[in-house]
Amino acid sequence: MIILFLIVLLIVLAGIFVLWASRLPGGMTLDLGNGTLYEFELVWALLAILLIGAALALAWSLVTGLITLPSRFGKSRRASKVKAANKALADGLLAAEAGDAELAKKLSKKAAQYAEDDRLKLLLEARAAEISDDWSGAERAWGQLTRLPGGQLAGLRGAASAASARGDAVSAVARAREALELKSGADWPFNSLFDSQVADGDWDAALQTLSTGEKRGQISGDSLRRRRAVLFTARAAALQHNERKEAQRLLAEAIRSAPSFPPAAWHGARQLMIDEKIKAAQGVLELGWKARPHPALSQLARRLETNAAPSVIEGRLKNLVAANPDHRESRILGAELAMQSRSWLNAVKALALLVEEKPTARLCLLLEKALRGYGDLTEAERWGRMAVTAAREPEWSDIDPRGGAFQYANRDWARMVYAFGDAGTLIHPRYETSERELEAGRPVALPAPGGQQDAVKPPRTDVVTPPLDYVPED
């Protein structure tokens, strides 16, 4: 449409030019050299010049067209080839993503014939091999891609995934470490290397990788601090008895990173207890209790010294309660202290409120003990029966029948890196496997014979009939 408009416009302009030129005076004389002169009016002379120029231009375009015809033909073929290659690559990648392995391989071979960019050919070849579960072929294609400009990072990622899929963890880690050394904003090298090291229980290497991720801004904030706390604690827990100094250093770093991680506080206090640094151990327990109370911490506070008097133990437990008085564990510990001082009525009141909030086997057993001490044996037996079918407490299950706690295997520490590190939650392997736990209401260790002891009265055994709210009548 535009071309037709231009042609009409040129014709109109030519007509206007002829009308204008016809009114001009004068003419043109042409001498051919043989004595003959030809005279033309000016308008015809101008038209002749225009026609001759147009003819020359047309002839020149034809000549140049013939000269450039081969190159134009070559460009057309290349354009057609690029179009076919692009179509084959696009269709092949779509087939690979759709899971059509046979079609992806077919299109991969077709793309190899037409595509000029080897990176795209290798990408399609690798993807086609992956969906065919040909991990060796995929790793080979990805490896070739790493040697091409711009394809190194993508090739390393694909090679690491392929090596991991065929069970070669060493090669996968090596590829991830190589990618981590590159200057890039991608976070997969950090995550892949870190995950592999955590899965292998290589806590030292995982800590180094975590520091690298921190420097590059790939992890920060609470996740960084909590992951580091778990790794420090796992590393310390794996050390031998003669490496206590290093264990204490690591546990101090763990507590500094995340005081709310109870295993760090428990193991840290236990290491100090072994070295008879009782005051420091109590300080660690109070710090951990303030951040996040856990029954294992109070159990350890009861046995920091084998010859401690009951009044000393009671003082330590009261300090824990004062560190976080409104927490559920502090209220339970307060009820246990009331039972220890034979204030059975206060213990029953406190435990009754707790049972209403969340009835568990542990609370049922504690309430049974308090009721027996108070003298209501019938009600005590009822709560004892309820303890059999009541739900267990995950936190209480962390304590084994001998009083030990947080004795995790490497796989448990590995899970904790992400459970606590990323979400701030604890895992409870003993709870998950329904292992035996410490019986609630029974202390793990009592003061040694011959040590200073407060005089205690034997529990009451007579049956009384108190009101339902256990408030004495006026």
Q: Tell me, what amino acid is at 436?
A: R
Q: Tell me, what amino acid is at 311?
A: S
Residue 38 has what pLDDT?
A: 59
DSSP secondary structure of 289-350: HHHS--HHHHHHHHTS-TT--HHHHHHHHHHHHHHSTTSHHHHHHHHHHHHHTT-HHHHHHH
Three-state secondary-structure class, residue 466 = coil
Residue 471 has what pLDDT?
A: 44
Q: What is the DSSP letter of 408?
A: -
Q: Which residue do the tokens 């001498």 mark? A: 31
Question: What is the spatial distance between Cα 25 and Cα 302, in angstroms, rounded to a whole number?
Answer: 128
Residue 149 has what pLDDT?
A: 84
Question: What is the spatial distance between Cα 415 and Cα 434, in angstroms, rounded to a whole number?
Answer: 18
Q: How far is CA 456 from CA 293, 303, 370, in A?
A: 29, 19, 16
Please check the confidence at residue 108 and state whether its pLDDT lies above 90: no
Burial of residue 62, with CB atoms counted within 10 A of its CB: 0-12 exposed, 13-18 middle, 19 or more buried: exposed
Residue 83 has what pLDDT?
A: 67
Each residue's pLDDT tens digit, 138-153: 888 888 888 888 888 8
Percent over 70 (pLDDT), the chain: 74
> Within 13 Å, how many C-alpha atoms sit on residue 391's CB side?
8
Q: Can you name the residues that pair with 40 across neighbouring β-strands?
A: 28
**Helices (DSSP H) in 358-427: which residue ranges?**
361-374, 377-389, 394-397, 410-423
User: What is the band of 456 on the pLDDT scale with cuts at 50, 70, 90?
Assistant: very low
Each residue's pLDDT tens digit, 340-366: 999 999 999 999 999 999 999 999 999
Instruction: Give the mean model confidence (pLDDT) for residues 85-100.
Output: 66
Look at 102-116, 213-227, 376-390, 446-460 and tell me which has the smallest mean pLDDT. 446-460
Q: Can you name the residues that pair with 38 across neighbouring β-strands?
A: 30
Please check the confidence at residue 164 and state whether its pLDDT lies above 80: yes
Q: Among 234, 270, 275, 228, which Cα is nearest to 253's? A: 228
Residue 180 has what pLDDT?
A: 86
Q: Among 336, 320, 218, 214, which Cα is nearest to 269's? A: 320
Of the two residues 94 and 395, the one the predictor is more confident about is 395
- What residues contact residue 309 under an 8 Å CB cut-off, 6+ apart? 447, 451, 452, 453, 454
Residue 28 has what pLDDT?
A: 59
User: What is the band of 135 on the pLDDT scale with cuts at 50, 70, 90?
Assistant: confident
Each residue's pLDDT tens digit, 180-215: 888 777 888 999 999 999 999 999 999 999 999 999
Q: Is the dihedral of CA 208, 209, 215, 219 positive or negative?
A: negative
Please check the confidence at residue 446 and state whether its pLDDT lies above 60: no
Of the two residues 383 and 465, the one the predictor is more confident about is 383
Instruction: Give the mean model confidence (pLDDT) for residues 15-30.
Output: 63
Please check the confidence at residue 79 and state whether its pLDDT lies above 80: no
Q: What is the DSSP letter of 83?
A: H
| C-alpha distance across the termini of the chain, in Å | 110
Question: What is the spatial distance between Cα 398 and Cα 294, in angstroms, rounded to a whole number?
Answer: 9
User: What is the band of 18 on the pLDDT scale with cuts at 50, 70, 90?
Assistant: low
Question: What is the spatial distance between Cα 128 and Cα 137, in angstroms, rounded to a whole number?
Answer: 9
Residue 123 has what pLDDT?
A: 77
pTM for this one? Answer: 0.73
Contact present, 463 and 424 (Cβ < 8 Å): no
Each residue's pLDDT tens digit, 296-337: 999 999 999 988 899 999 999 999 999 999 999 999 999 999
Residue 452: which H helix or E strand, with range? none
The mean predicted confidence, pLDDT, of the chain is: 82
Structural domains of the chain in order of their starting residue, each with its CATH number: 146-219 (1.25.40), 220-474 (1.25.40)
Contact present, 297 and 266 (Cβ < 8 Å): yes
Which pairing describes strands 37-41 and 27-31: parallel, antiparallel, or unpaired?
Answer: antiparallel
Residue 473 has what pLDDT?
A: 46
Residue 463 has what pLDDT?
A: 45
Take residue 406 and report the two structure tokens written for it.
């947080």
Of the two residues 8 and 305, the one the predictor is more confident about is 305
Look at 52-61, 264-273, 316-325, 351-360 and tell me which has the smallest mean pLDDT. 52-61
Instruction: Give the mean model confidence (pLDDT) for residues 43-59.
Output: 72
Three-state secondary-structure class, residue 405 = strand
**Helices (DSSP H) in 200-277: which residue ranges?**
203-215, 221-237, 244-257, 262-274
Q: Can you name the residues that pair with 41 across neighbouring β-strands?
A: 27
Instruction: Give the mean model confidence (pLDDT) for residues 102-118.
Output: 66
Q: Among 463, 471, 473, which Cα is nearest to 379's? A: 463
Q: Among 146, 220, 201, 148, which Cα is nearest to 176's? A: 146
Look at 8-12, 246-250, 284-288 and tell me which has the smallest mean pLDDT. 8-12
Contact present, 193 and 209 (Cβ < 8 Å): yes
Look at 48-57, 165-174, 329-338 and tell me which has the smallest mean pLDDT. 48-57
